[in-house]
A and B are shown apart, each in its own frame.
Chain A
Amino acid sequence: MESILFLADFSVIRPEPGLMVWTLVIFAIFWFLMAKFAFKPIQQALKTREQDIQDALDQAKKAREEIEGVQAKNEQILMEAREERSKILKEAKDAKDAIISEAKEQAKAEAEKIVERAKQDIENQRMASIIDMKNQIGNFALEIAQKILQKEMEGDKNHEAFVKSQIENIKLN
């Protein structure tokens, strides 16, 4: 008895045409209006936003790649500059060394020249002094010889003439 009452009163399980028609109409209108005024615009907005986000991310990635490229380029330029600098430094050093060695050689040559000249001078001086000495020695010898001869030939005119001729011979030499 109770179970039959159960069934008799359990009205929600009986699909009533009125409620079905109303549900049909309400849901159809709901579907149409929501699609037109809510779901499609929202979906469109979300899609646009997702696209925007994707674009922004892509752009950021691209910018990062670009920066990385620029950085690599900078690095390269820096390295090149460094190489250039070391090259220049090396060249400068070489030039310096060359200049120094050249200067040294020049100085050496100059010094040699000076020494040569000095030697020449000394030689000249020596020759001059030798000649001088020769003259003086000659004079001394003459004087001495004169004196000796004077002493010996104070009475001999022949001697005097002979000596004089001898002296002239020497001069000619």
Chain B
Amino acid sequence: MRSFLLSIFAFIGLSFTLAAQEHHSEEGHHEEMQASHHESEGHDGCSCHHEEEYNPSGVAFHHIADANAFHIFGDLYIPLPCILYAPEEGLSVFMSSAFEFGHHGDGKKAVDGYVLHEGVVMRVADSSFPKEAVAIECFTSREAEKDGKAVEIYQVVYEGQCYDLDKKSSFDGGILGGGISSYYDFSVTKNVFTMLLTVILLFFVFTGVAKAYRTRAGQAPKGMQSVMEPVFLFIRDEVAIPFLGHKYERYLPFLMSVFFFILGLNLIGQIPFFPGSGNVTGNLAVTSVLAIFTFLVTNLSGNKHYWEHTLWMPGVPAWIKIILTPVEIMGLFIKPITLMLRLFANITAGHIVIIIFVSLIFIFGDAGESVPGSVAGGVIAVPLTMFMMAIELLVAFIQAFVFCILSASYISAAIEDAHH
């Protein structure tokens, strides 16, 4: 039995390795041809050059990133609606299939001054770039200096000319390589799509369960009902009631929504293919919004006792209060920020580790040059990946639970009655 399992395991690992190897070597070959083709043309220093080396961190970042098209396999993408807003140009709405998906999620066309690079919409910063749909050649990048730091700027090559590309606007104020750029992306991205899918799935599952309680009233739970009931009771009896006491019912829907929303997204993100693979809870935008919800629920339900203890702690000398009050006010914001970072970091780290383990196949195989190297990499990568996926499954539950229990504890501090 054991040897049988081992042989199956080895077979899966080997075929996985060889498939990946073949896929990559094909790509390498294709890129090489493309590269030589463009280099031969030579447009005043602006040419399409491609990285020949396998770059695991680049692959990892590409895979965990949000995208404007859902990658299935090879060059097959599911188009998603693009809703783009550039203050100087106005709104552009179209399906991302208008970009004509090419290799690695690079669009073959530019639409309304937007291009698709590695599955992500980018805007051509140059106003001289044509606004109608035009065929583009390829993408490249240049190094530049920005605020004393070296940054890489992506470029699109169109008619032998290089045009700088803008990244979508983000709220990090430039400290994380982003900032407000020339456009905003309100598209239904891969993450939004995954979120909608998960939410709809959860809604149908739970309304089904709720219906079962209605139609089977007075009977023992059955099917989905008996799957969800222990989880529901766990959150209610181990999180809501211990922290919130007799007021728990008011906050139960919020805690349940947070828990199942995060859990659903964590689990669907574990599936390595469509409709999974979306790294939703590993995106700071998502976790920050969830943290904002907790912040709002906590502080909007804060009672007199809570605000008194936050703003002007009773029973301590005045000079301590002067120190304490700023710390407490900072604490109001630090609490949700830790929530946001914890969930984001855990899920993103898990995804990166899995991608890096799979990358071992390419690293050992010299990016498709050496078959024995790839096999050796696969032998190491497959058990490691399986192990990591098992851990990630655990993390999916733990992080959803931690977010939920900490939200409950913050709310409990805000609604606690004065009793001392």
Contacts and interface: CB of A to CB of B under 8 A. Distances in A.
Contacts of A148: none
A169 B107 CA distance: 191
Contact of A19 (B232, B236, B260, B283): B283
Contact of A18 (B186, B249, B284): B186
B172 interface: yes
Given A26-B195, A27-B261, A11 B120 contact: yes
Given A27-B257, A39-B206, A18 B185 contact: yes
Given A10-B177, A23-B286, A42-B209, A17 B150 contact: no
A18 B150 contact: no
Given A13-B176, A45-B213, A31 B170 contact: no
Interface residues of B, number: 68
Interface string B169-180: 111100011100
Contacts of B388: none
B150 A30 contact: no
A34 B185 contact: no
Interface string A1-45: 110111111111111111111111011011101110111111101
Given A11-B120, A38-B209, A18 B293 contact: no
A17 to B, nearest CB: 6
Interface residues of A, number: 43
Contacts of A26: 192, 195-196, 199
Given A6-B57, A23-B195, A38 B236 contact: no
18 contacts: A9-B61, A11-B61, A12-B284, A14-B172, A16-B170, A17-B170, A17-B285, A20-B286, A22-B186, A23-B290, A27-B290, A34-B206, A34-B256, A37-B206, A41-B210, A43-B236, A46-B232, A46-B236
Given A14-B178, A40-B253, 13 more contacts: A2-B57, A5-B57, A9-B65, A10-B177, A13-B344, A16-B170, A16-B285, A18-B187, A34-B203, A34-B256, A37-B206, A39-B206, A41-B213
